[in-house]
C-alpha cells in the first residue's frame, strides 16, 4: 500500500509528502538529486527499505520543489529548501525530529541542522558531501571534467536510465531495473530541471558551516562508492563528534547491497537498539514474468494505449495466479513476481499466462525456480528470488524456463521439458542446468 500523498504549503508552492510508521522517533527523510514519492514504491528493494525505516520511526518523506509530485517551480536555493522542510514538519506537527539527508540532500540537511538546532534531534547522513566538485583545497570531489560530461549526459540522455551507472553500477545490465530507472527519471524531473539541479549541486559548498553543526551525527557510506565516499569521509573528519561508519559495497542506492547492515546502524544510532528485520524462511516456488520488447511496444502504441494494454495484461495475469493458487508478491512496470506452494502449479500458471497474454499481441518470458526464501512483511527475498529472476531473463519470447530444481520436483506430473543447456546466472554461484517447458 502506498501511503497517502498530501501537500504542505510554503507560500504559493505545494510540497508533496508522505508519512509512514508510528515508531518512537520522528525521522524526516531528505531526498537526493530527484525523487518521486509514488514511483519509489515500485522498486521492490526500495519499498522494503522504506518500510524498515518506518518500523522504528515515524517516517516523513517529501519531494523537493521542482521534482516528483511537488510543484514544478524553478530550482530552489538551499534557503528555500530549508523553508520547505519546515513547512512539511509544520504540516505534520513536528516540533523536533531526526533528519536523514542523502547525497546532495546532505548539504541542505547540514545547513538546516546548523540554522535550526532546536528542531533537529539528530542528523543521519548517507553518501553525503559538503561539496560535489573538486577544488585545489578539496580533492575529494569529482573532477570538473567528470561534472561537465555528466551535465551533457543529463541534457541529452535524461530518461534513458543514465543515472544507473553512478547510483547502481552492479545493475547496469539488469533490464527490468533499467526500465524502472528510465521511468523514474522521466517522471521525477524534466531534462531541463535535471540539468539545472546538477548545475546547482556543482556550485554548493557548505564546508564553512561544519563547525556550527552541534547535533549528534551519524555518517554512512559504501567504501567502493567512488562518487560519494570521499566527500563522506571528509565530513567524518570535520564534523565535531560525528560517528562515521563505512560499509562494504560500491552502490550508492542505500536499498541495494546489504541494506539491513545500513538500517541496523541507523536504528541503533537513533533508538539505542538494533532489532533487525523480522524474517522467516520458507520453501517457495517463485515465478517471474516480463513482457518482451515492452519499451518498443509502448513507443509504437503511445502512452495511453500502452497503459490500457497493460491494464488488461495485469488482469489476465492475476486471473491465472488466482486460478493456480499463486500469490502476487510484487508488480513493477510490465512484470510480475508471484509465489506458489507447489512447482507444478507454478508451471501450469506460467503456461496459461503465456497463452492468454499472447491474444493481446504481446509475448512474455517466464522463469520459475524453487528454493528457500526469506519472508518479511509478506515480501520474499534471498538467493532463491534472485535465481528466479536470472532464469526469467534467459527465457525467450513465449517461453517458460525453469531450473533443474523445479524439473526434479515435478517428476510424475506429466509435464515435459527440453534441455536448454548449462548457464551461469549473474551473481549466483555455480553452473545451472535450465529446461524449457514443452507441454503442460
For the stretch 135-168, pLDDT in tens is 999 999 999 999 999 999 999 999 999 999 989 9
pTM: 0.67
d(CA 167, CA 295): 22
Write the DSSP symbol of residue 218: E
280-439 belongs to CATH 3.30.70.1230: yes
With beta carbons less than 8 A apart as the criterion, state whether 307 and 297 touch: no
| Cell representation of residue 81 | 529548501
d(CA 337, CA 320): 13
Residues with Cβ within 8 Å of residue 299, at least 6 apart in sequence: none
For residue range 14-45, list pLDDT tens digits in order. Answer: 999 999 999 999 999 999 999 999 999 888 78
With beta carbons less than 8 A apart as the criterion, state whether 181 and 163 touch: yes
pLDDT grade for 377, boundaries at 50, 70 and 90: low
- Mean pLDDT confidence for 255-259: 89
| Cell representation of residue 147 | 561534472
pLDDT at 280: 66
pLDDT at 121: 96
Domains 6-271 and 280-439 in one fold: no
pLDDT grade for 332, boundaries at 50, 70 and 90: confident
d(CA 16, CA 9): 9
For residue range 262-321, list pLDDT tens digits in order. Answer: 999 999 999 998 875 555 677 889 999 999 998 888 888 898 898 899 999 999 999 999
d(CA 278, CA 374): 10
pLDDT at 279: 55
Fold exhibited by the domain 6-271 = Rossmann fold (3.40.50)
Parse the chain into domains and list their residue ranges: 6-271, 280-439
d(CA 167, CA 251): 6
Give the E-state strand segments of 353-408 in sequence order. Answer: 364-376, 379-381, 400-403
pLDDT at 275: 74
Amino acid at each position: 500500500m502506498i501511503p497517502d500523498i498530501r501537500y504542505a504549503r510554503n507560500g504559493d508552492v505545494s510540497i508533496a509528502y508522505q508519512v509512514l510508521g508510528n515508531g518512537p522517533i520522528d525521522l524526516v527523510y531528505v531526498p537526493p538529486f530527484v525523487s518521486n514519492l509514488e514511483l519509489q514504491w515500485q522498486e521492490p528493494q526500495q519499498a522494503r527499505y522504506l518500510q524498515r525505516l518506518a518500523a522504528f520511526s515515524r517516517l516523513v518523506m517529501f519531494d523537493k520543489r521542482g521534482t516528483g509530485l511537488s510543484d514544478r517551480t524553478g530550482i530552489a536555493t538551499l534557503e528555500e529548501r530549508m523553508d520547505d522542510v519546515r513547512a512539511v514538519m509544520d504540516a505534520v506537527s513536528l516540533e523536533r525530529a531526526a533528519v536523514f539527508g542523502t547525497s546532495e540532500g546532505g548539504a541542505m540537511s547540514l545547513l538546516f541542522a546548523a540554522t535550526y538546532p532546536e528542531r533537529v534531534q539528530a542528523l543521519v547522513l548517507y553518501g553525503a558531501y559538503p561539496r560535489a566538485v573538486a577544488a585545489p583545497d578539496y580533492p575529494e570531489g569529482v573532477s570538473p571534467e567528470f561534472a561537465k560530461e555528466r551535465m551533457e549526459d543529463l541534457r541529452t540522455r535524461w530518461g534513458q536510465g543514465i543515472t544507473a551507472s553512478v547510483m547502481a553500477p552492479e545493475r547496469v545490465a539488469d533490464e527490468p531495473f533499467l526500465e524502472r530507472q528510465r521511468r523514474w527519471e522521466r517522471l521525477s524531473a524534466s531534462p531541463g530541471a535535471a540539468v539545472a539541479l546538477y548545475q546547482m549541486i556543482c556550485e554548493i559548498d557548505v564546508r564553512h558551516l561544519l563547525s556550527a553543526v552541534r547535533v549528534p551525527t551519524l555518517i554512512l557510506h559504501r567504501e567502493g562508492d567512488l562518487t560519494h565516499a570521499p566527500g563522506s569521509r571528509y565530513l567524518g573528519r570535520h564534523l565535531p563528534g560525528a560517528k562515521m561508519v563505512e560499509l562494504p559495497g560500491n552502490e550508492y542506492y542505500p536499498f541495494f547491497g546489504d541494506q539491513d547492515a545500513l538500517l541496523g546502524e541507523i536504528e541503533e544510532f537513533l533508538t539505542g537498539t538494533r532489532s533487525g528485520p523480522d524474517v522467516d524462511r520458507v520453501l517457495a516456488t517463485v515465478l517471474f514474468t516480463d513482457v518482451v520488447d515492452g519499451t518498443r511496444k509502448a513507443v509504437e502504441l503511445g502512452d495511453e494505449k500502452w497503459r490500457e494494454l497493460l491494464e488488461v495484461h495485469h488482469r489476465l495475469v492475476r486471473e491465472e495466479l488466482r486460478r493456480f493458487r499463486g500469490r502476487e508478491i510484487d508488480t513493477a512496470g510490465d512484470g510480475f513476481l508471484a509465489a506458489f506452494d507447489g512447482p507444478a502449479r507454478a508451471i501450469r500458471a506460467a503456461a496459461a499466462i503465456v497463452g492468454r497474454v499472447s491474444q493481446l499481441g504481446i509475448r512474455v518470458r517466464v522463469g520459475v525456480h524453487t528454493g528457500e526464501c526469506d519472508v518479511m512483511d509478506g515480501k520474499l527475498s534471498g538467493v532463491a528470488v534472485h535465481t528466479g529472476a536470472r532464469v526469467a531473463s534467459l527465457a525467450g519470447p513465449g517461453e517458460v524456463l525453469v531450473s533443474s530444481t523445479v524439473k526434479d520436483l515435478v517428476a510424475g506430473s506429466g509435464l515435459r521439458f527440453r534441455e536448454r543447456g548449462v548457464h551461469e546466472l549473474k551473481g549466483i554461484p555455480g553452473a545451472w542446468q535450465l529446461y524449457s517447458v514443452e507441454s503442460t
